[in-house]
Amino acid sequence: MEAGGDMLLPFAFEETLCRDVGAGLVQPSVHLWSHPGGVALGLRDSKLPRAAEAMAELEGKGYRTAVRHSGGAAVPLDAGVVNVSLLLRKSTGKLDFHDDFRLLASLITEAVAASHPQAAAQIRAGEVAGSYCPGDFDLAIGGRKFCGIAQRRQSSAYFVHAFVIVSGSGPERGQLIRGFYDTAADGDDALAYPRVIPQTLAALGELGGPAAAAVFAEGFRLALTRRGVHLQSAGQLRQTAGYSLQYADPRVLEAVRVLRERYAR
């Protein structure tokens, strides 16, 4: 679904849905969404010396900004970026978050393979130096990153989240985030923040993969189905299990308020 308006809405929706998954009110879930235009910051980003000024610059250019509660650093969100979250219950015993990262990475690879198998065969996992929001489970083709993965844990459930750059220009998005850090860090090289090299980023469409968000999203659904997962839409879930959660739900709106209060600079 497309998440217009407040950038924190989809994050608050997932926070609420995750609690319901942990409470057994709803089965483990998948959430796919895009935002028409914004930048989601990590908590460390928001504490850079001129972060407020850098955020104001982005807002002045038409990009909404928000500080997200999952791990990672600043990422652009727009209609060409598909956000994918797996919301899962915690199992008994020791949890290895690397297993969850590998699961989502493999599903994303299978989603690409559904329409562009040659591109999928070239996907590699590993940190891409110079990319924004770098991490051990960056996904790249030819050394250029198109996806990053983060995680958020609650007491009885958790979700693994990925942003997937499907269409548009990877370097242009990289330049946007580099500009944010140029202002926010105020030229202080002693500070810890990603040194973004725009050319390390690319969209799947620039790398021989699917070039439309809808094509990737359908590939992801197909990847889950091929693994034996029975998917129900929000409407079907409401009819069969009586469970409903919308962005406008009072619980979600309250979660927006809490997230903004807790993670505001």
Could you give the residue numbers annotated as active site? 133
DSSP state string for 166-210: -SS-HHHHHHHHHHHHHHHTTT-TTS------GGGB--GGGTTS-
Q: Which of 83, 213, 81 is nearest to 152 (CA)?
A: 83
Q: How far apart are CA 112 and CA 265, in angstroms?
A: 37
Task: Give Dmax over CA atoms of the chain in angstroms.
Answer: 56
Residue 112: C-alpha distances to residues 30, 108, 154 (Å): 17, 6, 30
Q: How far apart are CA 112 and CA 119, in angstroms?
A: 7
Q: How far apart are CA 200 and CA 177, in angstroms?
A: 12
